[in-house]
Structure 1
Amino acid sequence: MRLLGNIIWFLFGGVFMGLSWWFFGLMALISIVGIPWAKACFVIGQFTFFPFGKEAISRQMLHQKEDIGTGTLGFIGNVIWLVFAGIWLAIGHILSACACAITIIGIPFAIQHLKLIGISLAPIGMTIVDKEVADALYQKGEELK
């Protein structure tokens, strides 16, 4: 089912948003200063091409440690990202979600676009994992509470 969802997603809009991520990655790469963001753009772009079966989670959650946050530099990096690229990618995902939500069949794709808005706005400190890994981490986090 994931394969079918990813193929339909890619053909009917995912390719455009994935290419948008790669475009911003190239712009960051060209600027030299943005090289750390460029790598993230290419990883998230690949995730945007085929999002079903994967999930974006906090690195802090992945490592289950209190001290692995983005910190001050990560926060500043996310603010810089938001100004130069994040807002534009988020707008793209919002418009794509609206277009997908027009039909009943497109609603799951609209929901996926809405999920991608969060990582569009603040990608530093996030990582992409398989859905099963994310579910196991969520379950483990609930057990620790």
Structure 2
Amino acid sequence: MRTILNIIWLVFAGFWLAVGYALAGIICCILIVTIPFGLASFRIAAYALWPFGRTVERDPDAGVFSLLGNIIWFLVAGIWLAIGHVVTSIPLFISIIGIPLAVANIKMIPVSLLPLGARIVDNDQSRTSGT
């Protein structure tokens, strides 16, 4: 079922989301100072391409630089990305058949708001799946 949902997601939303995040990552890497943001954008792009069966975990050892970077990211890009995910999920929810895609879109909001210090892992490898 995950594979079917991922293929549908890829066709209708995932490809364009991944392209957008990848372009942002390229721009951030070109600017050198923002390379950590670029790497985070590439991680989110991979997650946006194939989200079903994966989850986001926070790294407890992320540190103060991740916190500061997340504050900057939140103010510059994160809030706009979250709004974009919410806006695109509304028509998916209304269409009923797109509800799983809307849920995946909403599931991306935490990592798009605060990407530094986050890991994207398979559900099978999640630390929280066993507890």
TM-score (norm 1): 0.83
Structure 2 residues without counterparts, runs of 5 or longer? none
Task: Name the residue aligned to 1:114.
Answer: 106
Identity %: 38
Q: What one-letter code is carried by the residue in structure 1 that aligns with 2:123? A: K
Are 1:18 and 2:10 matched, yes or no? no
CA distance in 1 between partners of 2:19 and 2:66 (Å) = 25
CA distance in 1 between partners of 2:90 and 2:14 (Å) = 14
Task: Name the residue aligned to 2:53.
Answer: 53
Task: Name the residue aligned to 1:28.
Answer: 28
CA distance in 1 between partners of 2:56 and 2:101 (Å) = 16
Deviation at 1:72, TM superposition (A): 2.2
Higher relative CO (Cα under 8 Å, sequence separation at least 6) belongs to 2
Of 54, 57, 79, the match for 1:87: 79
Larger Cα-atom Rg: 1
Number of matched pairs: 131
Structure 1 residues without counterparts, runs of 5 or longer? 61-67
**Runs of 4+ with deviation above 4 angstroms:** none
TM-score (norm 2): 0.92
CA distance in 2 between partners of 1:52 and 1:115 (Å) = 10
Deviation at 1:112, TM superposition (A): 0.9
Task: Name the residue aligned to 1:138.
Answer: 128
C-alpha RMSD of matched pairs (Å): 1.4
Q: What one-letter code is carried by the residue in structure 2 that aligns with 1:6? A: N
Question: Counterparts in 2 of 1:66-85, with a 5 A limit?
Answer: 68=61, 70-85=62-77
Deviation at 1:139, TM superposition (A): 4.6
